[in-house]
Structure 1
Amino acid sequence: MPDYRSFASSNPSFFFLFSIVLKLMVPCAAEIQPQRHATDLHWYPGTATWYGDPEGDGSTGGACGYGTMVDVKPLRARVGAVGPLLFMNGEGCGACYKVKCVDSSICSRRAVTVIITDECPGCPSDQTHFDLSGAAFGRLAIAGENGQIRDRGQIPVIYRRTPCKYPGRKIAFHVNEGSTPFWLSLLVEFEDAEGDLASMHIREGGSSEWLQMNHLWGANWCIIGGPLRGPFSVKLSTSSGRTLSARDVIPTNWVPKATYTSRLNFYA
C-alpha cells in the first residue's frame, strides 16, 4: 500500500521558499505545453492503489498546491494522486476522472470521481496509475468488501476524463504567499468543466492589454513585471479551448494569501 506524498505537502513553508528561489534563478519560466485530452466518453486501462487512513479523505496539501482545500468539501474524499502520464508536470492538476475497478470478484460496477490534487512520483511512468484516498478506494468495492479490496493494495481499473462540477461555487483566485507587485502568483480554485488550465492572462487596472502568465508549479501560475497595478482582471483558457474572463476580480488593495471569488464559472 504505497504512500506517495510530495515534499510540498509535508512542508508548509515550501511554497514561499520555492518561490523565492525561483525568482532569483528562473522567474516564471515558461514551459512547453503538453498535449492534453478533452473530456472523453471512452474508458482506458490503468491501475490504482490507496494511501492514508482506510476511510481517510486524502492528503493535506499535495503537489498541486491546493493546501487545506483538499480536507473540506467539495474536494474532501474525492482527491487523488496520479503518475506522470496524467500529472504532466502539474498541468494535469484540477482535472477530474471517473475510476472503476474491473475485478468483479471484489468490486462493484460503481465508479468514483476523483479530482487530481497531487502527484505520486514513485508511480510508473509508462502506464496510467491512480493513488486514491482510502475512502475513494473503498467505494469501488462490493458492499461489505471494503477491507478485502484494500488488502489487495493494487487493483486493475478503467478510467475516463469527466467534467468537474462544483455546484454553487464560483471560480476563485488565491494570491500565493510571496507575491509582490513585481511577482504575482495565482492559484485557481473550483473550476468547473475541464478543471485544468491551458493558459492564464491578467489585465491591469486601466489597461486593455492582456499579459500572459506562465505555469510555475502544480496548479500555480505567475507573472513577473513591475510594478503590476490592480485591480486585476483574469482570463482563463481550458485544455479544450473554453475561455472565461473575470473583470476586476482581484482588487487594488490585494494581499498575499487572500482568496478573491469571481461571479463566474465554466458550467459543464
Structure 2
Amino acid sequence: MAGGACGYGTLVDVKPLRARVGAVSPVLFKGGEGCGACYKVRCLDPAICSRRAVTVIITDECPGGYCASGHTHFDLSGAAFGRMAVAGEAGQLRDRGEISVIFRRTPCKYPGKNIAFHVNEGSTNFWLSLLVEFEGDDGDIGSMHIKQANSMKWLEMKHVWGASWCIIGGPLQGPFSVKLTTLTTQRTLSARDVIPRNWSPKATYTSRLNFL
C-alpha cells in the first residue's frame, strides 16, 4: 500500500514527514487510530548512540514477526535511525538492524501548516471518504463528524482504515464542515465549510485551523 498502512500516500515523501516516518507494532498502531501520532525515540547503546532523540510520525504498521509478538516495536526510516548515532557512527547503527530504545509521546508540530482533508479516490455523493493530514498536537483521531450544507446536524463518520474515515448516505450535499475529536485528549476542532460544494475525489482541501 503506497505510503504505508495509514494511507498517507506520497505525503510521506515530502517535508515535514520525509525522513521522520515510522512504523509501529499493533499495540501503538491501534488498528489505524494511532496514525499521525508523534513519538520521540532514543536508542540506549552509548557506544554508538548519542543522547539525541529523533521525532517520528506514525505512518505505517510494521509487518509480522517480532512486531506481531505483542512487543512495542518501532521500524524507523534509515535517516531517522542515523540521526540517533554519535558522529561518524550512523552507518554502523543502521547496520545493527535492531536496538533497544526508550520512547515517549510528543506533540506533533507542523509549523505554518493547517489541518487538511484529502478526499479519497472513489468518493461519491453517496460514499464520502476523507483522510486527515497535518493534524498538530495529539496527531491521532478518536472520532470524526461531518455536517452538510444548510444542516444543523453533525453526522458521525466511520473509521475505515488507517487515517481514513467515511460516511454513507445520500445524496450528500456540500459544502461540508468537518469536526475532529482527538483520540488521546478528546480535544475538538471544527472546520466550517472546508470541503466545497464542487469537491472532487483525490483533491485536498486545507482548513484555516490546527491544534496548537
**Which interval holds the TM-score relative to the shorter structure?**
over 0.9
Give the gaps of 5 or more residues in structure 1: 1-7, 10-60
CA distance in 1, matches of 2:89, 2:63: 29
Deviations 1:145-165 (A, max 9, x none): 011111211000000000000
Query: Stretches of 4+ moved more than 2 A in 1?
Result: none
**Cα contact 1:84–1:121 (8 A) shared by 2:** no
Check if 1:90 corresponds to 2:32. yes
Identity score, percent: 78
Partner of 1:99: 41
1:228-243 matched pairs, under 5 angstroms: 228-239=172-183, 240-243=185-188
Normalised to the residue count of structure 1, the TM-score between the two structures is 0.77
Secondary structure of the 1:247 match is strand
Structure 2 partner of 1:109: 51
Match of 1:79 in 2: 21
Matched, 1:69 2:11: yes
Partner of 1:183: 127
CA distance in 1, matches of 2:186, 2:69: 27
Give the distance between the partners of 1:89 and 1:199, measured in 2 at CA: 14
Partner residue of 1:146?
A: 90
Which residue, 173, 194, 205 being the options, matches 2:117?
173
Q: Where does the alignment leave 5 or more consecutive residues of structure 2 unmatched?
A: none
Q: Distance in 2 between matches of 1:247 and 1:151?
A: 48
Q: How many residue pairs align between the two structures?
A: 209
Q: Return the alpha-carbon distance in structure 2 between the equivalents of residues 212 and 151 of structure 1.
A: 46
**TM-score when normalising by structure 2:** 0.97
Q: Which residue is equivalent to 2:161?
A: 217
Cα distance in 1 for residues equivalent to 2:190 and 2:95:
47
Q: Residue 133 of structure 1 aligns with which residue?
A: 77
Distance 1:99 1:180 in 2: 40
Between the aligned partners of 2:195 and 2:86, the Cα distance in structure 1 is 47
SS at match of 1:216: strand
SS in 2 for 1:155: coil
